[in-house]
């Protein structure tokens, strides 16, 4: 039971090993190249999403309310636009509102598509 609490407290999901370029399917992930079936990422629980949001807002305040420059925000959004996990303006994995999260320099994509 304790691992369930820890899992929900840290977001309840894990990062998938995928290429950062959403248009590059030539290489695939290490799992697909090795013939191992790749698992799809696990969506965050509601409690995990709330905990992640609280932590993100604490980091945002601690940073002095810093945001990324508009070109980086637009680049992040361009990586999310074709994503299979995007549902309207929300990510179905981390449950964030993508257009808001993309402004935060300390945040990243749950499947590693945003450039660092």
Confidence of residue 29 (pLDDT cuts 50, 70, 90): very low
Is the separation of the CB atoms in 6 and 45 below 8 Å?
Answer: no
d(CA 110, CA 38): 16
pTM over 0.85: no
Check pLDDT > 90 for residue 36: no
d(CA 91, CA 20): 16
Check pLDDT > 60 for residue 116: yes
């Amino acid at each position: 039971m304790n691992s369930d609490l820890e899992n929900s407290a840290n977001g309840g999901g894990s990062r998938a090993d995928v290429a950062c370029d959403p248009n590059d399917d030539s290489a695939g992930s290490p799992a697909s190249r090795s013939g191992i079936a790749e698992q799809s990422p696990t969506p965050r629980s509601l409690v995990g999403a709330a905990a992640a949001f609280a932590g993100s807002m604490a980091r945002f305040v601690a940073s002095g309310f810093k945001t990324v420059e508009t070109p980086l925000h637009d680049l992040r959004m361009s990586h999310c636009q074709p994503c299979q996990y995007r549902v309207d303006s929300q990510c179905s994995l981390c449950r964030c509102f993508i257009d808001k999260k993309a402004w935060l320099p300390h945040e990243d994509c749950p499947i590693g598509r945003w450039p660092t």
